[in-house]
A and B are shown apart, each in its own frame.
Chain A
Amino acid sequence: DTGVSQNPRHKITKRGQNVTFRCDPISEHNRLYWYRQTLGQGPEFLTYFQNEAQLEKSRLLSDRFSAERPKGSFSTLEIQRTEQGDSAMYLCASSQGAGRGPQHFGDGTRLSIL
């Protein structure tokens, strides 16, 4: 399977804990995107990378959120001091080229805050 891979599929944690998610994009894709999707809503853009450079961050991405793509391949999204409102599905997508290609999505990581 050469699609976008996300781990873990589901993360349950207590409020205040830190969590980290991983995304492995399609290998030849240079662009990687993170989205957040809450129940009954469409995905909301968080940030994206072109290769290892983080080119844009949404204002939804508070100081508690940080994303990295150290070698231009996989990416991690870390949430520090989690809050109830962070409960959501976190989706990763990747695309090829200068952003004109379609984005291919992973299965997502569902975060549940107790």
Chain B
Amino acid sequence: AQTVTQSQPEMSVQEAETVTLSCTYDTSESDYYLFWYKQPPSRQMILVIRQEAYKQQNATENRFSVNFQKAAKSFSLKISDSQLGDAAMYFCAYRSVKINNDMRFGAGTRLTVKP
């Protein structure tokens, strides 16, 4: 079964600085998707960025970018120029394309942004 591991329960960053959140996953499949979701306190889960496993190029969305290392099964999220509104729980998620369609989430990383 696929598992997703986020080894950093909490991270902190100074406003305007850069922070990297780590994620590793375990799978025997070659075709899958990886996602980072953001969940602010008492608010809904929002998709931040997605990566298709067959694409070698790392996905980028404005201040958010990923470092996808397929061989190492690593998928880290880099947030540049951190803003106060970035404070939230961040979940890494894996979704198989072939076998089923549920997403497997990591336990999350709580990001605090200091002014």
Query: Which positions in A face B, CB cutoff 8 Å?
Result: 3-4, 31, 33, 40-45, 48, 55-56, 58, 91, 93, 99-100, 102-108
Q: Mark B83-115, 1 if CB is under 8 A from A, else 0.
A: 000000001010001001111111110000000
When distances are taken between beta carbons in the complex, the residues of chain A under 8 Å from B107 are 40-42
Q: Which of the 9-residue segments B14-22, B40-48, B70-78 touches chain A?
A: B40-48
**Interface majority SS (helix, strand, loop, mixed), chain B:** strand
How many angstroms between the C-alpha atoms of A55 and B33 in the bound complex? 20
Report yes or no: B97 in contact with A104, Cβ–Cβ below 8 A: no
When distances are taken between beta carbons in the complex, the residues of chain A under 8 Å from B37 are 105
Report yes or no: A102 in contact with B101, Cβ–Cβ below 8 A: no
Known: A102-B50, A105-B45. A56 touches B101 (CB 8 A): yes
Closest chain B residue to A47 by CB distance? B102
Least distance between B64 CB and chain A CB atoms (Å)? 14
- Enumerate the 3 nearest inter-chain pairs by beta-carbon distance, A residue then B residue, closest first: A42-B105, A45-B102, A105-B45
Report yes or no: A48 in contact with B91, Cβ–Cβ below 8 A: no
Partner of A91, one of B33, B45, B108: B45
